[in-house]
């Protein structure tokens, strides 16, 4: 009899994180749905339980060490030792460099990079003890540079270097670390971008689709499918990689 694996997905109240949490539950894992506001996680948890899966909602600020420690301890108590971690939590504070505040910079780097560091640090010990683990970090095509996103681009590029280092350090313990770099994905975050620049979301999606080789806009489920592979047994020989899920080649 195999023990049900426990996964943590950060930023899982909506969008990509919610789709990832639901997919991992479909894959047979118990899932901790973690986000800043625990109540906001209920929709994802309800969707998982309605489909016959097992999930709990957990509220925590991933950039706060004490909250991360408490969250991981709580998950350990309620679900068991986490051996799959998806670092998806993220925010945007877009602006051109000369308009960007120090707080804009620190907040974005804090959630993305500090958050991934803290979650990985306090989950890896359980993976080492189990002799098996999967860490999947969410990067972005913005890691290659994007006007008005100096903070976000730096954070997402940092996620790639962080991922490769984790792969090198943790591989001997049966732990893989990989990153997924989405292109345009239709989420509340991209809807907010459309609103900020004064474009209807439908037009924004259509324009983004035309920029891809496949002439399609990405959906959260497209990212969830990639996470499912990296989080499973089939990816045991894949580590330290960055997969661009962007509807075509990226430069």
The whole-number pLDDT of residue 2 equals 54
End-to-end CA gap in the chain: 46
For residue 229, which of 171, 174, 178, 183 has the smallest C-alpha distance? 178
Given a cut of 50, the residues of the chain with pLDDT beneath it are: 1
The whole-number pLDDT of residue 192 equals 84
Strand order in the sheet with 242-245: 55-59, 30-35, 6-10, 82-87, 133-138, 175-182, 242-245
**In CATH, which of 1.20.810.10, 3.40.50.300, 3.40.50.12160, 3.40.50.720 is domain 6-183+227-244?**
3.40.50.720
Q: CB neighbours (10 Å) of residue 73?
A: 11
Length of the chain in terms of residues written = 251
The whole-number pLDDT of residue 1 equals 39
For residue 94, which of 139, 147, 141, 144 has the smallest C-alpha distance? 147
Q: Which of these is catalytic: 105, 117, 152, 244?
A: 152
Task: Answer yes or no: 152 catalytic.
Answer: yes
The whole-number pLDDT of residue 147 equals 94
The whole-number pLDDT of residue 196 equals 81
pTM above 0.85, yes or no: yes
The whole-number pLDDT of residue 94 equals 93
- pLDDT tens for 34-72 read 999 999 999 999 999 999 999 999 999 999 999 999 999
Question: By the 8 A CB rule, do 88 and 12 touch?
Answer: yes
Question: By the 8 A CB rule, do 62 and 118 touch?
Answer: yes
CATH 3.40.50.720: which residues of the chain? 6-183+227-244
């Amino acid at each position: 009899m195999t023990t049900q694996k426990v996964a943590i997905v950060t930023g899982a109240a909506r969008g990509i994180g919610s789709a990832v949490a639901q997919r991992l539950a479909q894959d047979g894992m118990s899932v901790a749905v973690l986000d800043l506001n625990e109540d906001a996680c209920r929709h994802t948890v309800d969707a998982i339980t309605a489909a016959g899966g097992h999930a709990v909602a957990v509220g925590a600020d991933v950039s706060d060490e004490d909250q991360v420690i408490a969250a991981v301890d709580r998950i350990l108590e309620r679900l068991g030792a986490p051996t799959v971690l998806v670092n998806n939590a993220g925010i945007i504070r877009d602006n051109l460099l000369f308009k960007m505040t120090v707080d804009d910079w620190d907040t974005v780097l804090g959630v993305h990079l500090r958050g991934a560091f803290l979650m990985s640090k306090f989950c890896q010990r359980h993976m080492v003890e189990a002799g098996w683990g999967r860490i999947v970090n969410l990067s972005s095509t913005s890691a290659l540079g994007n006007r008005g996103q100096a903070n976000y681009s730096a954070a997402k590029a940092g996620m790639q270097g962080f991922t490769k280092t984790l792969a090198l350090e943790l591989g001997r313990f049966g732990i893989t670390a990989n990153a997924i770099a989405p292109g345009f994905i239709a989420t509340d975050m991209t809807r907010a971008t459309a609103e900020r620049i004064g474009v209807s979301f439908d037009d924004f999606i259509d324009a983004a689709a035309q920029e891809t080789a496949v002439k399609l806009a990405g959906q959260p489920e497209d990212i969830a499918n990639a996470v499912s592979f990296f989080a499973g047994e089939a990816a045991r020989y894949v580590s330290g990689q960055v997969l661009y899920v962007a509807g075509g080649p990226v430069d």
